[in-house]
């Protein structure tokens, strides 16, 4: 009986690990557009090239608009899926 419980516990732990691992390499699905440049299935930080800036989020994730370069500084705005945001001060965008 003890061996059966150990085996079932091991199988359950393996199943949980299998389900958890794919989410660790997550990238948004869809297209993020920054000033007309399209990023397909974006992940991470993107710099802003010129002002004024437009950020169009056609992904399944939230995009953070940062006041500093390299996604530093304050989060100026959250651009939810399906939204467009216009700014004259942002310097980078991070896709969650």
The CATH number of whichever domain residue 56 belongs to comes to 2.60.20
**Within-domain flag for 14:** no
Does an H or E element contain 35, and which? none
Instruction: List, for residues 18-64, the tens digit of each pLDDT value.
Output: 444 444 457 899 999 999 999 999 999 999 988 999 999 999 999 99
What band does 96 get if pLDDT is binned at 50, 70 and 90? confident
**Within-domain flag for 56:** yes
**Within-domain flag for 83:** yes
pLDDT score recorded for residue 25: 56
Domain count, the chain: 1
Q: Which residue has the higher pLDDT, 78 or 22?
A: 78
**What is the DSSP code string of 57-77?**
EEESS-EEEESSGGG-S-EEE
């Amino acid at each position: 009986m003890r061996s059966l419980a150990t085996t079932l516990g091991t199988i359950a732990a393996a199943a949980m690990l299998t389900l958890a691992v794919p989410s660790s390499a997550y990238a948004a699905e869809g297209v993020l557009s920054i000033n007309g440049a399209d990023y397909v299935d974006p992940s991470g930080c993107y710099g802003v090239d010129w002002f004024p800036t437009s950020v169009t989020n056609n992904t399944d994730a939230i995009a953070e608009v940062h006041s500093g370069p390299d996604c530093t500084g304050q989060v100026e705005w959250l651009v939810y899926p399906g939204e467009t945001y216009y700014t004259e001060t942002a310097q980078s965008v991070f896709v969650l």
